[in-house]
Amino acid sequence: MLAFKINKDETAYEVTKCDKKAAGLVTIPDVYEGKPVVSIKAEAFRYCSKITDVIIPDSIEKFGSWAFIDCHGLTNVVIPDSVKKAGYAIFQGCTSLKSAVLSKNMKISGNRAFAQCTSLASVTIPDGVKVIGEHCFVDCTGLASVTIPKSLKEYKFAFYNCTGLANITFQKGLKVIDEHAFEKCTGLTGVTIPEGVEEIKDRAFEGCTGLASVTIPKTVVKMGDGVFKDCDNQLTVNVLGLREKPEAWPSEWKNDYKVIWNYGGKNIVEEGGKQ
């Protein structure tokens, strides 16, 4: 069912191919012919559409690009913490995938890791993950909620067009909301950004047409351009606990939306379109 190749040093094996006729549960062994299995080659499971589950052992350290692309029957995946590297589009197009748990040590460096996994309803991003590749969850329209761990620093375009996303939980200690991170998440109606966040980058919530209210804490010292570009014109942004308007925020950050500035308990209302 699985094919293996030994590395140049003859110290470990790589999974090179899975029989396309494989069905149901597939278990990748941690040892093959007395040596550890440490990686999965690019496209190794491509088009294995009858696989429903895969057990990935703690010995695996690396996924090649497109490792499980278009495994349309795959329903769940747990990536062990031993995995540190992953290529491009490793689970792209796995349209039956319902849940995914990421390795806390993995940098999803290849981008589009779970792109177009339209049934993905649950994803666990452990605290410890620092970087998620661009468009990691693009078009995951079934994803309803997500928790952003405090360790995360780079995740631009990560949830682009996740139209079913209705709830975002930001862990206390998070510093940055990355550019375009939640663009076109039209299912969002409200967002509360926790105190401690220091920067909201360009167009983080662009095109979130369902947004009715956003709360921004006083700790935000940097604001990018067009953070709420093309949101509903009824959006109200509440900025808490400031003494005065922050000079580091460009005038284009809010576009034409209503802003309620809270200056130490006193609210100053700035209507849309007015500076």
Phi, psi of 252 (to 5 degrees): -80, 0
Residue of higher predicted confidence among 107 and 41: 41
| pTM for this model (two decimals) | 0.93
Q: How far apart are CA 125 and CA 132, in angstroms?
A: 10
Give mean pLDDT, residues 35-46: 98
pLDDT tops 60 at residue 108: yes
Which of 71-75, 118-122, 249-253 bottoms out in mean pLDDT, i.e. has the lowest?
A: 249-253
Dump pLDDT digits (tens) for 189-198: 999 999 999 9
Q: At residue 219, what is the residue type?
A: T
Q: What is the mean pLDDT of the chain?
A: 93
Residue of higher predicted confidence among 267 and 27: 27
DSSP per-residue codes, 160-179: TT-TT--EEEEPTT--EE-T
Angle among Cα 106, 6, 72 to the nearest 5 degrees reads 55
- What pLDDT score does 273 carry? 57
